[in-house]
Structure 1
Amino acid sequence: MADPHEFLALARTMADPVLERWQTLVALETPSGDAGRAAVFGERLAAGLAATADSVRQPPGPDGAHLVAYWNGRETKDEEGDGPPGHTLLVAHSDTVFPAGTITRRPFALAEDGDTVTGPGVFDMKGSLVAVELAMDLLSRTGASPRRPVRLVVVNDEEIGSPDGSRLVARHAEGAHAVLGLEPPLPGGALKIGRRGVARVRLSVRGVSAHAGLDAALGVSAIDELVDQLTGLRATATSLPDAALNVGTITGGTRANVVADHAEAEIGLRYTTPETEQALLRALLEPTAVRERAALSAELLSHRPAWAMDPANPLAAELIALAATLGMDLPIGSSGGAGDTNLTGALGIPTVDGLGPAGAGAHGEDEHASLSSLLERAALIAAFLDTH
């Protein structure tokens, strides 16, 4: 094992190549759903990881290839089955919320303070990908290696709920002894040890069209039915103290003088307990029509279970203690947002998220991240993999 301080000291000498790599990854835009850009980015990311990884694979998905990188551990089970069980799973994503072309208007830049980096995706989460590359490079340069086998899963659809990427995370979570999420931290650099669950549901209504003036009684308004359904769902959510419901989009009908024969809404749900999750999904996925001739259907578009916060999270305690040896303060908290670690945390696998560099403004015009924090997080990740 190497001295953790050696990782930190070496990381702090590598600011220039880190900035160059960060700029390269940010310049390769990756809006969710763009398979062509995902492919270009994936090849560049794979090439960088291949410098230290034992293998890098790019399993296909509907929106282009995801990425999984593997590093062998120095301690593996012997013939008697002794040795550290399980692998360490690192979870990340490559997609961003920004449309292609944003980089032209908001190019990657380093502020005058020499630490603040701005640009679309620098915080969520291209900086984290640079940090994990650097962590593995630090291990290699110091002659160290991960104690256990390591897998890095990078999905390309996290920002839209990981409709395909979640299966990849679930597959590689099997047998993992610990999961480190590389999402951005909470304010102040705090680790995430719990996450609210989220789901997206499309509620569709079929009605009966008719002339709104001459034959209105012959029609069944899909829009009126949808409005009544949403009112009922709002009441259900309001009755649950840890629930939130947001109607994100509504479409339907054709014109003002025609009773609408179709309507649909996309609805976002948030919850902190399995009980509330079940109540909300039951209300949405098993709807009962208010109007006799209205037909309802519901489709679950994406789903992430709630990951309940445990202040005694032992994995977080190990990271906090390790960070303290490096002179780094590492607070903890729970996130109102969801991510791929919702799945591993809900499954009971020791999980901590928020190991990306500190910053703020995710998904916004003011997105920024800290270079010094990236270097520190990379050293912390390297030290953890070396010792655990």
Structure 2
Amino acid sequence: MLPFAEIARTAADQLDFVREQVRTYALAESPTRELEALAACADLVVAGHADTGGRTRRVPSANGDHLVTTWGPDNGEHLLLVGHYDTVWPIGRLPYVDDGERIAGPGVYDMKSGLVVIEAALKTLALLGIPLTRQVRLVVIADEEIGSPTGRAVVEAELAGAVAVLGFESPHPGGVLKSGRRGSTRVRLNVEGREAHAALDPDKGVSAIDELVDQLAAVRKLIPDDGTTLANVGTIAGGGRANVIAGSASAELGLRFTTLEAEQRVLRALDALSPVREGANVTVVRLSHRPAWSPPEPNPLLNKVIEVGAALGQEISGKPAAGAGDTNLTGAAGVPTLDGFGPHGQGAHAPDESVVVSTIPDRIALTAALLASL
């Protein structure tokens, strides 16, 4: 039986450490693909892991180093934790503010405070002399905010032998955990036509823009109206001059799916698109893909977390989330998964991004107890 009251008290004692560490990580701003900034932040995260006894392996990629850190023995099954250190904010865009009640700044909610919760939980267990149940393995990705194009393989490589996965992204409002996520796929629809003078030789041209418009109309008809699929045309580009028939055009689409079945059906239909006009060429390029993760029924992992939370005096619940993340990969692979273990807050990808300071100790205690019981 774990000493839950002592865990809660010791977790609360970590608050000053957390505030300083969140400040350190947030001020090391790390926008996706800003390689020098990412490297500087990664160095700090690696140092933080080392201070808690972690052993880190850096996995280089074109988008920055991914980090794989382990605590505990190097054999047997492991508990996999997932996070990222890249952010959506250009450097200098958001100020850092800690007024004692809220911590605001770039990436504090999404999701550098979640990374620090893990460190504080490990410190809590060490101070109490409570051993880990099994090896803990943490994957921290450098390009999650653009769909983990290079990070996906790193997450998937750590799934073998994982008994469960905990994600430290921000939770639902009120701290509700995320028990599932919509699938998320970005595709680019490319159209090639044939340029010609729009007045002198219109019959010799094939308008890529006209073709793209018709293709987008066809895409709309592919989207089911049963609530399983959302589609957004995010960008459109094409052509060059009003007196030249456009030779190329493209559109980027964002797709969200509640089920794997809807996802597979729609993506197959997109791959089968064909030109409306003779002489046009249509291709669909998949830019990123995270499969739909549907919550299992029953959900033993969620039930276990609810039980541990109750022992700490916390009321825990979970429900699916609309947004996608790296836990889509683990949940869709069938490994028991929960996400949203970061502190309560608001404003992911918004100017009011912040975390509520008073909620941090509970998240530390919950994480510590799970690391010692799962």
Secondary structure in 2 matching 1:173: coil
Does 2:360 match 1:374?
yes
Q: 1:239-258 maps to which residues of 2 (within 5 A)?
A: 239-258=225-244
Residue aligning to 2:66: 66
- d(CA) in 1 for partners of 2:275 and 2:19? 56
Structure-2 separation of matches of 1:239 and 1:189: 31
Cα separation, 2, equivalents of 1:95 and 1:54: 20
- CA drift at 1:240: 4.7
Residue aligning to 1:90: 81
SS class of match (2:164) = strand
Residue 31 (structure 2) aligns with: 31
Alpha-carbon separation, structure 2, partners of 1:228 and 1:238:
18
- Find the counterpart in structure 1 of residue 175 from structure 2: 189
Does the 8 Å contact 1:128/1:374 carry over to 2? no
Maintained 8 Å contact 1:193/1:311: no
RMSD: 1.4
Supply the distance in 1 between the matched residues of 2:226 and 2:196 (Cα, whole angstroms).
38
The Cα of 1:2 is off from its aligned counterpart by 4.5
Q: Which runs of 5+ in 1 are unaligned?
A: 78-84
Pairs within 5 Å for 1:330-369: 330-369=316-355
Structure 1 residues 347-373: Cα deviation after superposition (integer angstroms, max 9, x where no partner): 111111111111111100111111222
Counterpart-to-counterpart distance in 2, 1:145 and 1:28: 32
**Alignment pair present for 1:169 and 2:121:** no
Q: Secondary structure at the match of 2:223?
A: helix
Tell me how far 1:61 sits from its aligned partner: 1.1
Matches within 5 A, 1:116-155: 116-155=102-141
Q: How does 1:254-333 map to 2 (within 5 A)?
A: 254-333=240-319
- Hey, which bits of structure 1, 4+ residues long, moved more than 6 A? none
Q: CA deviation at 1:312?
A: 2.3
Quote how far apart the aligned CAs of 1:205 are: 0.7
**Letter aligned with residue 174 of structure 2:** G
How many aligned positions are there?
Answer: 374
Partner of 1:82: none
Higher mean Cα deviation, 266-275 or 149-158?
266-275
Distance verdict in 2 for CA 1:200–1:116, change over 3 Å: same
TM-score normalized with structure 2 length? 0.97
Question: Tell me, what secondary structure is at the counterpart of 2:158?
Answer: helix
Choose 46-55 or 56-65, whichever is displaced more: 46-55
Alignment match, 1:80: none
Aligned 8 A contact 1:203 1:284 in 2:
no
Residue identity over aligned pairs, in percent, reads 47
What SS is found at the alignment partner of 1:302?
strand
In 2: Cα distance, 1:286 partner to 1:156 partner:
33
Corresponding residue number in structure 2 for 1:6:
6
Q: Tell which deviates more after alignment, 238-247 or 291-300.
A: 238-247
Flag structure 2 segments of 5+ consecutive residues without an equivalent. Answer: none
Q: CA contact under 8 A between 2:14 and 2:124: conserved in structure 1?
A: no
Aligned mates of 2:101, 2:324 — CA distance in 1: 28
